[in-house]
Each structure stands twice: as C-alpha cells, then as structure tokens.
Copies of this chain bind each other. A is one copy, B any other.
Amino acid sequence: MINYPNGKKASAKISKKTSASGRGMRLEEDINQTNTYYLNLGKAVLHKKPTPIQVVNVDYQKRSAARISEAYYRTPSTTDYNGVYKGKAIDFEAKETQSKTSFPLSSIHEHQFQHLEAVLAQGAIAFVLVRFTYYEETYYLEASQLLALAKNSKRSIPYSWFQEQAVLIPYSLTPPVDYLKAVDAQLLKEKQK
C-alpha cells in the first residue's frame, strides 16, 4: 500500500483524526474495497488515481530498484477516482469531515471544482462522496448540486441540507460504500429528462 497523505498520520503514530467510534479516515479504504468488489463482480471498473508526487532526486546505485531519495506531495489537479460503468464515464471525489454541523467547501480545491465542471460538460456522471464521521454517514452529492451551491458562494453545506437533499448511502459490509445504487438512480433520472 502507498502511504497517502492521510496515511502519513498513521505511519507517524499520530492518530488524532480518528472519530469517536474509531472509524474516522476510513472512507478511502472503504471506497477501495468497494471498487475491488465491483471489479471482481464485473460491475464496474473504478480506481483511485495514484497520489501525485514530485520526484526531485533518484539514486541509481541498484539497477533493479531506483530509489527515490527526495520527493514531495503535489496538489491533485483532478478528482481522486474515475472509471467506467455501463459505458458511462464516472468521476468522483471523496471527503470526510469531523464536523457535526456542516461540510466545508474549502476541502475541495479550486481546480477540482473546475475539473468537475469540465467532466459534467462532457457528460460524465460526477459526484462527491461526503462522510460525516461523527454520524458515520456517507452521502452521495451530485457534482451539479455541489457546483450550484459553490456558485452561490456558500462556504459550507449544512448537515441538515445533506439529510434533506443528498442521497444517504447505507453502510454495509460487502461492499462498504455501495454508491453505484445512487449512480443508477442518477442515470435513471437523466434518462427521464
């Protein structure tokens, strides 16, 4: 496993970002498991993109394995996940918040908003999976909803808004985050337009 920026905390023996129930920061892991489940069943091909890393120095002493000796994490210019489902391009981001009251839009980078806008314009199914770790709830937020809220210069989306307007993804064991059901609902809705 790669140590993603989130994972750094774990490997450095700092585990502040764990929710009351001990399930904090696990959204990425849950989505990866879900994607493997979909892949094995032949339901969809969805992957997390590798974390972008700027390599500065590489040692070539051993020919078999070039050792990167200096590198830095870069800010992603797209969303973290994409792939294909029923011929449609799927593109999404996943975010966790520890807040009990709202999801801060600052956790999505400006170029990620632009990316979501661009893929929507190309007809992709785009969304954000937002997990409120305190409630252990994961919501499916359509990218079009997110962009509309961001354009009204909202700084955050209240938890109550999610309860009323977004789709709650029921937690299950296999797969942990069965978000394709919400994708199906969105595909159906778009067909009926």
Contacts and interface: CB of A to CB of B under 8 A. Distances in A.
Interface string A77-91: 110001111111111
A118 B72 contact: no
Interface stretch (A22-30, A45-53, A133-141, A163-171): A45-53
Contacts of A45: 115, 118-119, 122, 124
Contacts of A124: 45, 84, 87, 89
Question: Size class of A's contact patch?
Answer: 35 or more
A152 interface: no
A188 interface: no
Nearest to A58: B8
Contacts of A8: 55, 58, 60, 66
Interface in A21-77: 39, 42, 44-45, 47, 49-56, 58, 60, 65-74, 77
A78 to B, nearest CB: 6
A81 to B, nearest CB: 11
Contacts of A85: 122
A84 B122 contact: yes
A45 B120 CA distance: 10
A148 interface: no
- Closest 4 pairs between A and B when the two form their complex, measured CB to CB: A87-B123, A84-B89, A89-B89, A50-B52
